[in-house]
Structure 1
Amino acid sequence: MSTPTGFMDYKRELPADRSPLERINDWNEFHKHLSTEQLRTQGARCMDCGTPYCHTGMEMTGGTSGCPVNNLIPEWNNLIYRGLWREALDRLHKTNNFPEFTGRVCPAPCEGSCTVGLIGDPVTIKTIEQSIIDKGFEEGWVVPQPPLVRTGKRVAVVGSGPAGMACAAQLNKAGHTVTVFERADRIGGLLTYGIPTVKLEKDVVQRRVDLLEAEGIEFKTNTEIGKDIAADQLVSDFDAVVLCGGSTRAREVEIEGRDLKGIHLAMDYLNGTIKSYLDSNLEDGNYISAKDKNVIVIGGGDTGTDCVGTALRHGCKTVTQFGTHAKAPLERDHINNPWPQFPNVYTLDYAQEEARALFGEDPRQFSVLTKKFVGDENGNVKELHTVQIERTVDPETGRRIYTEIPGTEQVWPADIVMIAVGFEGPERTLIDQLGLEQDRRSNVKAKYGDYRTSIDKVFAAGDMRRGQSLVVWAINEGREAAREVDRYLMGSTMLP
């Protein structure tokens, strides 16, 4: 605890953002920063709550409550209040390999389960976390720390996203020789290709990659396991293999007219823009452009939101985002969504805020089901037909039931459509080559906390094992999988 009454004496304060109409003209991160004194005051709001649910990392009713990597949040809040920034950084790195990532892109379930939130606004945990690691880099405190002794064991990590990088970092600390294989031309997985630069600038990712390389990890890009290197050959060449390939099979929609030109999967749209931006500042034209077009985004999640933000920066004519879910309430429903669950309340994410500033309203349309796509004489999409729905859940099967509301049919002009309705699991090449068992959702079957697959020497972690999830869960699983690999190789482990 910093001060006994800090949570009553001080109000929650967040750093200001650059104005929406300014930031849609570039691809840079848009958050500003709090001063050192402001951060100290925010740290003072952390109370002596007895049981700090902020770092519990539990899954409740399909959502996350608390921090999945079990960050020691009250401890580093107190250290910031006392001005002990170096000590706060050490505390933060004990549980989180990459706070510069989570401090930028995590939805902060820790804040949703902050005890102060029971009676007011929660502590600004995410802002403080990012500030600690950013200051650590600015002051030169974050330096390579290669292991003093090598074990002689060699481990292959397939996939360089947050799970793969976290797993590699921990295994390297244990003294194993680690090689990370990535099929793309840059390291980072969805951190690089998937999350727009406006939320996570790629030099932040590369800075950490450079650090891991200096610590002894080898990264191999443009190398697809199962294609460039046979999967069984990889297992033969290494003492252990950890699969961290993510959940990258995009879920499709079975809608009349889906084969029309101008209808794209969201990740093709986002990844193309990111790569073109990194390669040539978009000058090569190797991306799907929404400039001067009526844009429809099908999907109400984070990926859909990123499509909206990207379309705005392309210079779209209009943008509309469809979601089958109902509009969330303005305040937490304390009966069906009680603390410490993540609060399901109406908010504007960065892209919706930008669209409202530009076009005058929230771009989202709630409880909307797309019935069909209609094209012009050249086979290009020109409009969408929708209907309003009521969404319920079958109490026996848990499946969603959509009931159409008569008289709510509508036609929307569309020059380009992005489909962002989630992912169906990992790609099958590796799974089929190794003959791995899968769970009912087609993910690689491996028990949480153990991570061993049905094949000896082969482990799985992150979205490839658990399905589409948060970056912070990927880091959690990468760290834990490293612990179990170390135990497998050495008979015991000192990794957390």
Structure 2
Amino acid sequence: MYKEIINTSHKLSTKKYNKDMGNPKAFLTIPRQEAGYRPIHDRISDYSEVEQTLNSRDRKLQASRCMDCGVPFCHWACPLGNKQPEFQDAIYKGKWEEAYKILNETNDFPEFTGRICPALCEKSCVLKLSMDSPVTIRENEAAIAEAAFREGYIKPRNIERNGRKVAVIGAGPAGLAAANQLNGKGYTVTVFDKNEAPGGLLRYGIPNFKLHKPIIDRRIRVMEEEGIHFKMNSDVDVRQLPEGFDAYCICTGAPTARDLPVPGRELKGIHPALDMLAQQNRILAGMTFPKEQLVTAKGKKVLVIGGGDTGSDCIGTSNRQGAVSVTQIEIMPQPPVGQNPATPWPQFPIVLKTTSSHEEGCSRLWSLATRKFLGKNGKVCGVEVEQVEWTPGPDSGRPAMKPTGKVEVIEADLVLLAMGFLKPEHPQFAENVFVAGDAASGASLVVRAIASGRKAATDIDSYLNK
């Protein structure tokens, strides 16, 4: 069928089409081309970004593959409501500044999402459905942001103040988005954060090999030049908010990691994932830690408990630190490869995901529940796990886990717990206090946090002007 479409397109290629899109049939002749990763032997020895870039010509060709669908499911799937067909067309026509203006209408920080978003838009692209070859929307987004900074399209705005003040508590993606939007509306914005530098999860949770921290610093400088005040090393108690502000936006994230309270949890060498990830990022920023405080995989057998992105980040970091071996276990069963009937297009597919960190070396095991940690001289030396089975729940509800009695021991002298984060609980706030991002929803995606921060800014503006 696909060959028939190709042949038909060749016969009709001489016709002229009066459409906004530069080449609505480019997808028939131009294959998807990803920039790809740096070679493993090269990237495994440093913390520079693993993803490469395409040149401008190839990037324009990739943008031309967008079909300008009658119903743009990419737009539907994006939590920010990005206008993908419009900025793809602008790239294809070489109008990079226009592309950035279109993208910036809906996304405050495309340089972040263009690097770390799981690209819900691509999973709902019609070309994903028809030929499993969606437009490279995420990479194109990153290319637009880099062109905008490189060519000077991003300049500090001169903003007229309205005389009102708003405090944003938390400098993660939600807080930064809320601050940026409120600042643009004329409010004097002060951002408080407990850490030494802004960014939240972007800076202290995501490894440098996925998001180089000067990318964050570059954006923060623009925000400061536009008048946003950052007060770092300020651990604000949300029950005692600082005085002098007309409204508050709580964007403190979901800081409490899920623990694993099984026998042996008190042994040394068992850490929440962010203990390692945040420390490594701080070390790369120039901080030093006493030897006894280091969470390092050097010369160790590492076990990562949890199969999500945080677990993947632990794998990449462990390999770079010099781990002897890395094993990742997940309590859920292995997802299907390629396609999953339970999550059909245009839903986000729950399928087996192999990240750049997985490629660098690790063993992956599924359907394993942790029974207890084993120790020697007060230090962890292994983990006893049990194979489990999952059976469908009644009326398509939550599946039930059944122990099988098949027990084994995995050797490990460093265990990293990457099982997600608990949804925060908040006190009853006053009506001028708004909550956004993971602080409101529980742990989720950066793109959703940005969308939530933008909505909170709109709600605050409506409240203060009602």
Q: Distance in 2 between matches of 1:294 and 1:469?
A: 30
Aligned equivalent of 1:48: 68
Shift of 1:345: 2.2
Which of 271, 275, 284 is the aligned partner of 1:264? 271
SS at match of 1:199: coil
Alignment of 1:347-358 (within 5 A): 347-355=353-361
The 3-state SS of whatever aligns with 1:204 is helix
Which residue identity does 2:92 align to in structure 1?
Y
Aligned to 1:469: 444
Partner Cα distance (2:318, 2:397) in 1: 34
How far the C-alpha of 1:24 sits from its partner, in A, is: 1.2
**For each residue in 1:202-256, what CA deviation from the matched residue of structure 2 results, as whole angstroms up to 9, or x when unmatched?**
1000111111000000000000112xxx74352x421000000001111111211
How far apart are residue 140 of structure 1 and its match? 1.3
Q: Distance in 2 between matches of 1:301 and 1:233?
A: 34
> What is residue 62 of structure 1 aligned with on the other side?
none
Q: Is residue 394 of structure 1 aligned with residue 386 of structure 2?
A: no
User: 1:232 maps to which residue?
Assistant: 240
* Residues 179 and 219, structure 1, Cα contact 8 Å, conserved in 2: yes
Q: How far, CA to CA, are the matches of 1:318 and 1:457 in structure 2?
A: 51
Q: Is the 8 A contact 2:339 2:349 kept in 1?
A: yes
Answer whether contact 2:178 2:454 (CA < 8 A) is retained. yes
Matches of 1:390 and 1:219 in 2, distance apart?
50
Residues 1:371 and 2:382 are matched in the alignment: no
Describe how 1:66-85 pairs up with structure 2 within 5 A.
Answer: 66-85=77-96
Residue identity in the other structure for 2:360: E
Distance of aligned partners of 1:233 and 1:317 in 2 relative to their CA distance in 1, 3 Å threshold = closer
Q: Residue 258 of structure 1: SS of its match in structure 2? A: coil
Q: CA deviation at 1:414?
A: 0.6
Equivalence map 1:73-112=2 (5 Å): 73-112=84-123
Distance 2:148 2:375 in 1: 54
CA distance in 2, matches of 1:219, 1:14: 37
**Distance in 1 of aligned mates of 2:120 and 2:151:** 29
Amino acid at match of 1:482: A
Which residue of structure 2 lines up, in the alignment, with residue 444 of structure 1? none
Give the Cα–Cα distance (whole angstroms) in 2 for the partners of residues 168 and 395 of structure 1. Answer: 45
Please list the CA deviations of residues 169-214 of structure 1 after superposition, one character each: whole Å capped at 9, or x if unmatched: 0000000000000001111111111111110011000111111000
Once the two structures are overlaid, the 10-residue window that deviates more, 319-328 or 129-138, is 319-328
Q: 2:177 aligns with which of 161, 166, 187?
A: 166
Give the conservation status (yes or no) of the 8 Å contact 1:146–1:214: no
Cα displacement string for residues 272-319 of structure 1 (whole angstroms, at most 9, x for unaligned residues): 111122124x68755311100000000000111111111001000000
2:283, 2:319 → 1: CA distance? Answer: 17
Match for residue 150 of structure 1 among 161, 178, 181: 161
Hey, what does 1:384 align to over in structure 2? 383
1:414 is aligned, of 412, 415, 418, to: 412
Give the 3-state SS of the residue equivalent to 2:68 in structure 1: coil
The one-letter amino acid paired with 2:136 is T
Instruction: Name the CA shift for 1:363/1:237 in 2 (closer, same or farther; >3 Å).
Output: same
What value does the CA root-mean-square deviation take over the aligned residues?
1.6
Unaligned runs of 5+ in 1: 57-65, 356-361, 437-453, 492-496
Correspondence 1:247 to 2:254:
yes
SS of equivalent residue, structure 2 residue 240: helix
* Residue identity in the other structure for 2:44: I
- Going from structure 1 to structure 2, the CA distance change for 1:298 and 1:123 (only over 3 Å counts) comes to same
Letter of the structure 1 residue corresponding to residue 325 of structure 2: T
Distance 1:283 1:484, change over 3 A: closer
Post-superposition offset of 1:346? 2.1
Alignment coverage as a number of residue pairs: 444
What amino acid does structure 1 have at the position aligned with 2:30?
Y
Q: Does 1:138 align with 2:150?
A: yes
Corresponding position: 1:20 with 2:40: yes
Instruction: Tell me, yes or no, if structure 1 residue 204 matches structure 2 residue 212.
Output: no
Q: In percent, how many aligned pairs have the same letter?
A: 43
Q: Which secondary structure does the structure 1 equivalent of 2:105 belong to?
A: helix
Pick the aligned partner of 1:123 from 135, 138, 143.
135
Structure 2: give runs of 5+ residues left out of the alignment: 1-20
Q: Distance in 2 between matches of 1:17 and 1:305?
A: 16
Pair 156,100 (structure 1): closer, same or farther in 2 beyond 3 Å: same
Letter in 1 for 2:435: A
1:265-344 equivalences in 2 (<5 Å): 265-280=272-287, 287-333=294-340, 335-344=341-350
Distance (whole Å) between structure 1 residues aligned to residue 178 and residue 275 of structure 2: 27
Partner of residue 480 from structure 1, selected from 445, 455, 462: 455
Q: Distance in 2 between matches of 1:185 and 1:154?
A: 23
- Please, what TM-score do these two structures have when normalized by structure 2? 0.92
Question: What is the DSSP-based 3-state SS (H/G/I as helix, E as strand, rest coil) of the residue aligned with 1:405?
Answer: strand
Three-state SS of the structure 2 residue aligned to 1:237 is coil
